A and B are shown apart, each in its own frame.
Chain A
């Protein structure tokens, strides 16, 4: 159902929300007790391992598993033949094909078979005994090359109705957004800048590799333990692939060691279930880092043309961008979100974006924090910066002059309600960072970023124990401290101390459907459901107090953790605290609980502005990050520490994307840097402190004004760092990563 009036934002004084309480999972995580995906075992457990294609593109002519099956200690081998084909659901069919290749291996690392054995050593030996006859096919890994009409085609007939005839078979979708008249707008500009920007694929880079433990019995019932951003999604997808009823598969989410979007789908889980089905034994599967990099994630790589017109006083007269994203071997690169978000920070009369979804011989891309937006923002924010600086204008002033605000028709269509972009820009302009002096070979860059939020199916059950503590069950894996924030919102609503509430992540047998932990939705949507569940429990507790006092339940109100007579006419009764009401629950009708199940839609959007200083070594092209400040609207920061943590983490992932992270493919289409040695995520010594400024422009669609904060923070840094490096280097850089060889080449070409 849609939001009702009670769910609208109402200003209030907070007691718990906004404080910096200690997280409930803290002690387990600092003592090594917390159990992550690979930390679970089961009696009689087998070890599962996957055989992966060494080729970027190959027809699988045959697979001979007989020698592996004959090896002592091997209990089962599965290939695609062990799965029923899925018809009528392309998305699920693609997921299955990605988990276990069908007639073709579509990328280096594509799973082609799997074994279950009594030990890891035997499983490893068994993989070597599986004989796969490959017919190697021509491959393509670059997005622009894949769009050439004579490029090797991965699929036939997958393009949808939006793609004009005559294009490469690898082009699967076309999107166009915008309004106004681009050419007329450009004609009014004093300068029109046209540039092409490129970004490489990056991986979400969570430190915990994918892991699961599956156990299926002869009766068809199954249990699955796994690290995921959404165990309800895992249940539904696996049930569809395995031909099971959803209710027969119970999935428990382990602690999750990072996801950032990369754990919003399945890779190992159906394979582990298939091996368990075949052996009637529990099967544990854990990926190596190399498997994670070769066969999960990453994000799309991009090639983006922009044309932006600006008057010499800094007014943007028109903005155009054409975005080409390759999303790996299956449809679904996030190009539409790039096209929708590219110009979202601007109030433009004339704006148009075109997006192309392209497939290549790379792993199927998975969502990565604000999927599709960072690359688009990189292109647009770089071009706006170059235009502003070209006219000698202050880049923050130019952004303020063109900033989207309440009432602006967004580049992707709707009219913005109250938004926080201007507030972030003004905060940036007023911050001492903006006016701090810079030295030689140093530069300062700013950029803005935008991301959506959304709601989705959500269930929360809140139970009052006999001694008056409160347990909250939610169905979304806690990826950044959400158990703390749910406990805080429950405590706030009930008027009790935070310490009196404990939140757990419940398995799929305990609650109804829950959308994945994604789209920055948890604090918004699960928070909203938690508040509603607490309100339901309060109503019940008021009723119990009314019964006890012998008055009408309308004559009882809830305040400061206790039921009170609502007014003089209700009689003089001392307040009954939550604990007192809980203690007599059995006498007043039984256990007390509140629950809320909804699809709370109507989430607000979020904006950020980032500012970064860099220094470029003119002799080597090395870039050092000197100072970094994030300005972002959080609506209401429920737990400011974890809001800051999201800002900082997103910024640093963006810094990695900007400077050193990239997928490097050889001419053979094989990934060359499938490890943390050469896939270079930022280390502690690469970075300064990441300063944060939290702005709170309440989201009108949430009772506490909460907006999701998890994703927006990765949108501006690519451009902010590029603008800073371009200023420090004295030359515009148009390709990521800005690795030292690339920066040095630009410096030498100046």
Chain B
């Protein structure tokens, strides 16, 4: 295996595009090294992004935030302004693995690993986040939900890598929240995950919402019916019931070692209700 450590995005792209073998991007490495260890990956080369300064920064952009592909979960959690704007995205990213894993793991890596149970992805999808892709033909911005196409598979083309995740500007009285269900209190992969992002008007009525679910389908689901259950309401009990029902209806999970179909369908609704209440409170609505 070759270890490559470019210092510019251009170098990285050219190395990635020019390599003839199995060449992987190494951001935090907390998924890639596990795959290598478990014989699920045996790359010919890895390209470490962490020596590219621009990819290690959290930068304001167009009223929102640009988070470099090599920024760790811990660094996001320590960034007060980012946490204030996007508490749900940060809390979701901070749920990936242990404190130790937080020191390395990245949102972009979590996205490209393309696990349906990735914690940060439902939060990014609910946030309307965009992935900035660098490739041989230049740069393009793509909604994050279009990146994973199935377990372990992405829409990235040969030579492309994600250089940053962009989070949009927040209107007033907006907030997001992410909850996941795991058997223990830490260290597990989400059995179900749910993110809610919403905006309230001055009266506390929901004017915009996005709701997404993790680990209930081959990719993270954006659930418009669930968002519609909230929009135009004060996120009261009937709205929450409708939200839960919409999420349970949208969930199309499988039975596996982490949970059953029935369990995931039911808990998708439970988590949606609880996440919406947290987001409502964060946005300044009823506690």
- Interface positions of A (Cβ within 8 A of B): 288, 290, 619-622, 659-660, 664, 672-673, 675-678, 680, 682-683, 685-686, 739-741, 744-745
Residue from A664, A683, A744 in contact with B257 in the complex, judged by beta carbons closer than 8 Å: A664
Chain B residues with CB under 8 A of A740: 181, 183, 191, 259, 263
Would A672 and B259 count as touching, CB distance under 8 A? no
Most A Cβ at <10 Å: residue of B183, B185, B186, B267: B183
B140 at the interface (CB under 8 A from A): no
Is B270 an interface position by the 8 A CB rule? yes
Q: Tell me, rounded to whole Å, the shortest Cβ–Cβ distance linking B236 to chain A.
A: 18
CB neighbors of A among B250-274 (8 A)? 257-260, 262-263, 266-267, 270
Q: Of A619, A620, A680, which is within 8 A of B188 by CB?
A: A680
CB distance from B52 to the nearest CB of A (A): 29
* Whole-angstrom CA separation of A620 from B189 in the bound complex: 16
CB-defined contacts of A290 to chain B, threshold 8 Å: 38
What's the minimum C-beta distance from B130 to chain A, rounded to whole angstroms?
A: 30
Specify the main secondary structure of chain B where it touches its partner: loop
Q: List 25 A-B contacts (CB under 8 A).
A: A288-B37, A290-B38, A619-B267, A619-B270, A620-B181, A620-B270, A621-B263, A622-B181, A622-B183, A659-B183, A660-B183, A672-B257, A676-B187, A677-B188, A682-B184, A683-B185, A683-B187, A686-B184, A739-B183, A740-B181, A741-B259, A741-B262, A744-B266, A744-B267, A745-B262
User: Bound complex: CA of A290 vs CA of B181, how far in Å?
Assistant: 25
Complex CA distance for A672 and B38, rounded to whole angstroms: 13
Query: Is the pair A680, B184 in contact by a Cβ cutoff of 8 Å?
Result: yes
Asked if residues A685 and B186 are in contact (CB atoms below 8 Å), the reply is yes
Contacts of B267 in A (CB 8 A): 619-620, 744
The answer to whether A683 and B262 touch (CB under 8 A), given A620-B267, A677-B189, is no
User: Which of A288, A659, A686, A741 has a CB less than 8 Å from the CB of B260?
Assistant: A741
Chain A residues near B263: list those with CB within 8 A: 621, 740-741, 744-745
Complex Cα spacing A682 to B267, Å: 22
**Which residue of chain A is the closest to B181 with respect to CB atoms?**
A620
Tell me, in angstroms, the Cα distance from A745 to B264 when the chains sit together.
12
B186 contact set on A, CB distance < 8 A: 683, 685-686
User: Chain A contacts of B185 at CB under 8 A?
Assistant: 683, 685-686
A677's closest neighbor in chain B, by CB? Answer: B189
Q: Which residues from B are CB-within-8-Å of A678?
A: 188-189, 257-258
Interface centre among A622, A672, A741 (most CB of B within 10 A): A741
Min CB distance B253 to A, Å, is 12
Chain B residues positioned under 8 Å from A672 (CB to CB) = 257
The answer to whether B260 touches A673, judged by C-beta atoms less than 8 angstroms apart, is no
Q: Which residues of B contact A680 (CB under 8 A)?
A: 183-184, 187-188
Q: Within the complex, what minimum Cβ distance (angstroms) separates B167 from chain A?
A: 28
Residues of A within 8 A of B37 (CB): 288
CB distance B184 to A660 under 8 Å?
yes
4 closest A-B pairs by CB: A741-B263, A685-B185, A619-B270, A664-B257
B 103-145 to A, binary, CB cutoff 8 A, 1 in contact else 0: 0000000000000000000000000000000000000000000
State the CA gap A163–B164 with chains docked (Å).
67
Q: In angstroms, how far is the closest chain A Cβ from the Cβ of B266?
A: 7
Q: How far is the CB of A123 from chain B (nearest CB, A)?
A: 13
CB distance from A241 to the nearest CB of B (A): 30
Instruction: Give CA–CA (A677, B262) in the complex, Å.
Output: 23
In the complex, residue of chain B having the shortest beta-carbon distance to the beta carbon of A687: B185
B257 CB contacts on chain A under 8 angstroms: 664, 672-673, 678
Closest CB in chain B relative to A621 CB, distance in Å: 8
Contacts of B270 in A (CB 8 A): 619-620
With both chains docked as a complex, state the minimum distance between the C-beta of B248 and any C-beta of chain A, in angstroms: 12
Q: CA–CA, A253 to B262, complex, Å?
A: 49
Measured in the bound complex, the distance between the Cα atoms of B266 and A678 in whole Å is 22
Question: What is the bound-complex CA distance between A676 and B257, given in angstroms?
Answer: 13
Give Cα A525–Cα B270 distance, bound, in whole angstroms.
55
Q: Is the pair A683, B260 in contact by a Cβ cutoff of 8 Å?
A: no
Q: List residues of chain A with CB within 8 A of the CB of B38.
A: 290, 675
| A292, chain B: closest CB distance, angstroms | 14
- Residues on B with C-beta less than 8 A from A677 are 187-189
Given contacts A288-B37, A683-B184, A744-B263, 13 further A-B contacts (CB under 8 A): A659-B183, A660-B183, A672-B257, A677-B189, A678-B258, A680-B183, A683-B187, A685-B184, A740-B183, A741-B259, A741-B262, A744-B266, A745-B262
Inter-chain CA distance A310–B232, complex, in Å, is: 60
Nearest B residue to A124 by beta-carbon distance? B39
Complex CA–CA separation, A619 to B194 (angstroms): 15
Residue of A nearest to B274 (CB): A619
Q: Mark B38-49, 1 if CB is under 8 A from A, else 0.
A: 100000000000
How far is B263's CA from A741's CA once the two chains are assembled, in angstroms?
6
Nearest residue (CB) in A for B189 is A677
CB distance from B110 to the nearest CB of A (A): 15
Determine the distance from Cα of A739 to Cα of B260 in the docked complex, in whole angstroms.
11
* Minimum C-beta distance from A526 to chain B (A): 37
Please report the C-alpha to C-alpha distance between residue A739 and residue B181 in the assembled complex, in whole angstroms: 12
Closest to A621 in B: B263
- B120 to chain A minimum Cβ distance, whole angstroms, is 17
Q: Which residues of A contact B262 (CB under 8 A)?
A: 741, 745
What per-residue 1/0 map shows which CB atoms of B177-207 lie under 8 Å from chain A? 0000101111111010000000000000000
Chain B min CB distance to A394 (Å): 32
Set of chain B residues within 8 Å of A676, measured between Cβ atoms: 187
A621 neighbours in B (Cβ, 8 Å)? 263
Q: How long is the Cα–Cα vector from A161 to B247 in the complex, in angstroms?
A: 59
Residues of B within 8 A of A620 (CB): 181, 267, 270
Q: Taking the nearest CB of chain A, how far is it from the CB of B93, in angstroms?
A: 18
> What separation, in Å, do the CA atoms of A678 and B257 have in the docked complex?
8
Cβ of B172 to closest chain A Cβ, rounded Å: 32
Chain B residue at smallest Cβ distance from A665:
B257
Tell me, in angstroms, the Cα distance from A675 to B38 when the chains sit together.
10
Closest Cβ of chain A to B32, distance in Å, is: 15
Measured in the bound complex, the distance between the Cα atoms of B34 and A677 in whole Å is 11
Compute how far the CA of A604 lies from the CA of B35 in the bound complex, rounded to whole angstroms.
50
Cα(A686)–Cα(B184), bound, Å: 6
Residues of chain A within 8 A of B184, CB atoms compared: 660, 680, 682-683, 685-686
Q: Which residues of A contact B259 (CB under 8 A)?
A: 740-741
Q: How far, in Å, is B117 (CB) from chain A's closest CB?
A: 11
Chain A residue nearest in CB terms to B266: A744
Q: A741 vs B191: C-alpha distance in the bound complex, in angstroms?
A: 10
With the chains together, A673 CA to B188 CA distance in Å? Answer: 12
Complex Cα spacing A676 to B185, Å: 14
Complex CA–CA separation, A620 to B266 (angstroms): 8
Which B residues are CB-close (under 8 A) to A619?
267, 270
Interface residues of B in 227-262 (CB under 8 A from A): 257-260, 262
Residues in B whose Cβ lies below 8 Å from that of A685: 184-186
